[in-house]
Amino acid sequence: MTDLPPLNGLRAFDAAGRRLSFRAAAEELGVTQGAVAQHVRQLEAHLGLKLFDRIPQGLALTSEGRAYHARVAPAFADLRAATSMLKPDLGKVLISVTPSFAAKWLIPNLPDFSSTHPEIDLRILATEKISSFYSDGIDLAVRQGTPPFGASLDATLVFKQDVIAVASPDMLGANSLPMHRNTLAELPKIHDSHDMWPAALASLNVSDTHKRGLRLSQTALAIDAAVSGQGVALVSRFLAQKDITTGRLVELMTLPDIHSQDFYLLRPRKTAQHQAANTVAAWLQTRAQA
């Protein structure tokens, strides 16, 4: 134990390294900003190294501090996850979803969940990264893919992939629906990270005569761009359904099966006795079917 630095210093360093601010770290730890700064100084003195550069905007990790934080932060994350497994908050459920799924389906449906299950604290982690059920404390996740997802995970289909071309009603003009494939080829395209347009046009046996198009990183952004009249987007039907129902988008045509990865609800088998997670999973499946 004599080889370990002061644990309070490590805690302060972990929080300050994630937040890059003594003030934000203090709020997280429930102590004063001065206490965090003092603990970090003591750690730096123990190590004989400078871990942070103090800059006008806050803090910046030094090269030594960055390398050290890359090892310290996962250790604290593992400690938090191990403790959470022993003492789970039975009313809290953390679900990991992509930003597009959160923006276009989960958040619009949250009022229904909140009204029917006010006792559950549902927290959403919206990220494109693959979250770890164990180190990140994830209870549920919705991901697009093809089973199997792993021996330790249960997977339940929630949405079949059903790709449609959508655009603002202003782009329809005098064309009837479904739109002719040659007309579709002439319209500006909106691309997202799934990059489905090449396969879609090949399946229709047409070439893109409108070579330039808007390129965005997320499907939710592609949907918003289509609503604003910037082109035609290829999206999963359920993600665009609300905008279609309200008339902000029109479905130009259904595309052949060009992307077979469906949407699944994933959960570790160890959470089978987590009643709140069971409730969220059941609600999500029922709402998806509706």
Instruction: Quick: pLDDT tens for 52-72.
Output: 999 888 899 999 999 999 999
Of 189-198, 199-208, 255-264, the range with the lowest mean pLDDT is 255-264
Domains located in the chain, CATH noted: 7-86 (1.10.10.10), 92-161+261-289 (3.40.190.10), 163-254 (3.40.190.290)
Give the tokens for residue 69. 């934080």
> Which are the contacts of 69, defined by CB distance < 8 A and separation ≥ 6?
13, 14, 17, 51, 61
What's the average model confidence in pLDDT over 250-271? 81
* pLDDT attached to residue 256: 73
> What is the tens place of the pLDDT at every residue in 165-190?
999 998 887 778 888 889 888 899 99
Between residues 233 and 174, which one has the greater pLDDT? 233
Closest by CA to 197, choosing from 214, 180, 220, is: 214
3 state DSSP class of 25: helix
3 state DSSP class of 211: coil
Contact 171, 257 (CB under 8 A): no
Helix 33-47 with 22-29: angle, nearest 10 deg: 110
What is the pTM for the complete model shown?
0.66
